[in-house]
C-alpha cells in the first residue's frame, strides 16, 4: 500500500540540527502529519528559483516495530534520526495526533537529549 498523508491533518513539528553540510549550525523544521502510518514527516519549502511550494518525504514510521527499528531500539538497527542531523525538538498537538502517546516513549528511549512538547490546540473540525 502506498504511503498517504492528509495535508489538513498536521499534528506537529520536528526540528533537526546539523542537516545542512554547507551550514551545520542551521536547523531544519519538518512538519508531522497523520496518514496511513504511525507518523509521516514532510519537509516543506519554497523553491529558490521559482518560489513554488515544494515538499520532500523526510521520513515515516509505518508502525511501532518500524519506529523502533528507525530509532535504533531494535537490536541490530541504528538510530537513523541521530546520524545525518539529530532530532533536537519535537512537538505534538494531542488534539490532532492519534499516535503521540506511542511515539513519545520511544523518543525518550532513543535520545539522551531531546525537547518534547505536547500541547492542545482546538480541533477546528469538531
CA distance 92 to 118: 5
pLDDT tens digits along 64-85? 999 999 999 999 999 999 887 7
pLDDT of residue 24: 66
Number of residues that this document lists for the chain = 126
CA–CA distance, 22 with 19 (Å, rounded to integer): 9
Q: What is the pLDDT of residues 104-119, one digit of tens each?
A: 999 999 999 999 999 9
Amino acid at each position: 500500500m502506498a504511503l498517504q498523508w492528509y495535508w489538513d491533518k498536521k499534528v506537529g513539528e520536528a526540528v533537526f540540527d546539523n542537516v545542512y553540510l554547507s551550514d551545520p549550525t542551521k536547523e531544519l523544521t519538518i512538519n508531522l502529519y497523520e496518514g496511513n502510518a504511525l507518523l509521516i514527516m514532510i519537509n516543506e519549502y519554497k523553491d529558490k528559483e521559482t518560489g513554488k511550494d515544494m515538499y520532500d518525504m523526510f521520513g515515516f514510521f509505518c508502525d511501532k516495530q518500524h519506529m523502533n527499528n528507525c530509532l535504533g531500539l531494535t537490536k541490530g538497527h541504528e538510530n537513523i534520526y541521530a546520524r545525518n542531523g539529530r532530532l533536537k525538538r519535537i512537538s505534538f498537538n494531542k488534539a490532532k495526533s492519534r499516535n503521540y502517546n506511542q511515539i513519545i516513549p520511544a523518543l525518550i528511549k532513543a535520545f539522551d537529549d531531546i525537547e518534547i512538547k505536547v500541547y492542545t490546540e482546538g480541533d477546528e473540525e469538531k
